[in-house]
Amino acid sequence: MGEFQIQQSFFDQYLGKLRHVAEIIDLAPEVVEILSKPKRTIIVSIPVRMDNGKTRVFTAYRVQFNDARGPMKGGFRYHPDVNLDEVKALAALMMLKTAVVNIPYGGSKGGVKCNPKEMSRRELEVLTREYAKALAPFIGPDIDIPAPDVNTDAQVMAWFLDEYNKVVGKVVPGVVTGKPLSIGGSGGRGEATGRGVFFIGLEAASKLNVSLKDARVSIQGFGNVAFNAAKFFYELGSKIVAVSNSKGGIYNPDGLNIYKVMEVKRKEGSVTKYSEAEIISREDPLTVDCDILIPAALEGQITEKNAGNVKAKMIIEGANGPTTPEADKILSEKGVFIVPDILANAGGVVVSYFEWVQNRMGYYWSEKEVDDKLKTIMVNAFNDVYEVSNKYNVDMRTGAYITSINRIVGAMKSLGWI
Ligand code: NAD
């Protein structure tokens, strides 16, 4: 094999894990087949008149994986690397994520292959509105509900909603989540994923008898998930020893003041401009000396090449798919406790669910109510997965897959699909 070994695609990694779990819980072949194929795949070409007067055609995807447990739910991203394999894998992970936290949704995901960093605000608005128009016949609050992901934010959701409303001729705030507060967004949505990562950290630490207050935490990334997670650990008293962004990383064994780091990043564009730390590479936070590692940047970061050098005893996956299956095996053998993405970063979709519930009621909760409800769901989900992992004597990732697949299978049986 050696250098000719073919890298498993992101979706193949999902299929591999599905087959592994199917053996453990003895899933029928037709169940595995349903869970291996998206219910519906939408691919559209979107022409956009660019600011220079020329038209460019963008390829856009929406993969609706499974709706046995409820309407499908998943964000959409704008990125040059977006492709069908990635969107399919992320849609499957969304199906598992909503089931593992037991909210009444299926799973979906979307993406447009584009480079938003090279596009003007007007071009992004036109692209978003055309994407909304193209998806309008296939989405809705009872069908499929998009949300923000990488490089899409509350403003993008607002444009998307406005265009959808025009197509259907009424105001339907529940068709997207992650909206601005002024048009039906939920308090607490912005920091929900980071807050959820922190709640999971608290639960895991209590199970492993670790004091989070004394813990050294290293984080890859410094965006929405990474910064908000860092903030809650920092406030508790943990030492944040390393963070990074796409331009590089910083390390200080005595701990970073993450608010000052954020100020520097805002002003100068990168955490590496922060002076009270040693400059390291963007991958180094994965392998510095620490107790807890939070990968919160991109997929496929912890691989068979660097997994052996990971020093953390606990990994909480803020990003989707940060650990390859080969790395997972190496880390398991080293006895590292890994809280998988579908559990650890579910805080965002949970508060998106609360946003949708509030939109449908037309009645809005305080931020405190949202945070308290989020905590209850995250703690219960952690304990469900922890129990299943112990029952089957498997790691937390396998336990999370078993927990969610059992719930999806239960729904498919009730519906008469199997
Ligand atoms: P973001 O765009 O806000 O932040 C991404 C961060 O990663 C940035 O700081 C960027 O500089 C950094 N980065 C990019 N490439 C890097 C590299 N090679 N090395 C180190 N750092 C790098 O995105 P986000 O919303 O924080 O999402 C991060 C991850 O979390 C993604 O995998 C996303 O799918 C996942 N996620 C996000 C949410 C959410 O609510 N935002 C919810 C669940 C999962």
pLDDT of residue 214: 87
Pocket test for ligand 1, best of 98, 246, 258 (most atoms within 8 A of CB): 246
185 belongs to a structural domain:
no
Ligand 1 site, residue 404, Cβ cutoff 6 A:
no
Same domain, 319 and 208: yes
Active site residues: 109
Ligand 1 site, residue 193, Cβ cutoff 6 A:
yes
C-alpha to C-alpha distance for 394 and 95, rounded to whole angstroms: 21
Least confident of 2-6, 185-189, 233-237: 2-6
Give the alpha-carbon dihedral of 75, 78, 80, 84, to 10 degrees: 30
Pocket test for ligand 1, best of 298, 301, 302 (most atoms within 8 A of CB): 298
pLDDT of residue 298: 87
| Contact criterion met (CB below 8 Å) for 85 and 120 | no
Residue 231 structural domain: 192-339
Helical H segments across 78-223, by residue range: 84-100, 121-135, 154-168, 192-207
Measured from the CA of 320, which atom of ligand 1 is nearest?
32
Same domain, 252 and 324: yes
pTM of the model: 0.95
Last residue of a domain, one of 339, 372, 390: 339
Nearest CA to ligand 1 atom 8: 223
Same domain, 174 and 197: no
319 belongs to a structural domain:
yes
| Contact criterion met (CB below 8 Å) for 52 and 123 | no
Same domain, 174 and 201: no
Same domain, 74 and 123: yes
Other CB atoms within 10 Å distance of the CB of residue 391: 10
Same domain, 88 and 218: no
For residue 151, give the CATH number of its domain. Answer: 3.40.50.10860
C-alpha of 96 from chain center: 12
364 belongs to a structural domain:
no
Three-class SS state of 413 = helix
145 belongs to a structural domain:
yes
Same domain, 139 and 250: no
pLDDT in tens, 241-264: 999 999 999 999 999 999 999 999
Mean pLDDT confidence for 166-179: 98
pLDDT in tens, 81-125: 999 999 999 999 999 999 999 999 999 999 999 999 999 999 999
318 belongs to a structural domain:
yes
Residue by residue, what is the 3-state secondary structure of 297-317? CCCCCECCCCHHHCCCCEEEC
248 belongs to a structural domain:
yes
352 belongs to a structural domain:
no
Same domain, 294 and 156: no
pLDDT of residue 7: 73
C-alpha of 328 from chain center: 18
Same domain, 147 and 240: no
Angle, helices 367-392/396-415, rounded to nearest 10 degrees: 100
Same domain, 211 and 310: yes
User: Across the chain, what does the average pLDDT equal?
Assistant: 96
C-alpha to C-alpha distance for 257 and 241, rounded to whole angstroms: 9
- Measure 225 CA to ligand 1 centroid, in angstroms: 6
pLDDT of residue 183: 98
| DSSP summary character for residue 291 | S
> How deeply is 332 buried, as exposed, middle or buried, from its count of CB atoms within 10 A (0-12, 13-18, 19+)?
middle
pLDDT surpassing 70 at residue 2: no
| Contact criterion met (CB below 8 Å) for 39 and 417 | no
Q: Which residues contact 192 (CB under 8 A, 6 or more apart)?
A: 347, 348, 350, 351, 352, 370, 374
C-alpha to C-alpha distance for 337 and 352, rounded to whole angstroms: 28
Same domain, 143 and 211: no
Same domain, 146 and 230: no
- Measure 319 CA to ligand 1 centroid, in angstroms: 6
C-alpha to C-alpha distance for 66 and 91, rounded to whole angstroms: 9
The total number of structural domains in the chain stands at 2
List beta partners, residue 76: 110, 148
Other CB atoms within 10 Å distance of the CB of residue 15: 17
Ligand 1 site, residue 221, Cβ cutoff 6 A:
yes
Sign of CA dihedral 395, 401, 403, 409: negative
What is the band of 222 on the pLDDT scale with cuts at 50, 70, 90? very high
Measured from the CA of 322, which atom of ligand 1 is nearest?
32
pLDDT in tens, 357-400: 999 999 999 999 999 999 999 999 999 999 999 999 999 999 99
72 belongs to a structural domain:
yes
- Measure 393 CA to ligand 1 centroid, in angstroms: 32
Ligand 1 site, residue 323, Cβ cutoff 6 A:
no
C-alpha to C-alpha distance for 406 and 310, rounded to whole angstroms: 32
Last residue of a domain, one of 316, 339, 362: 339
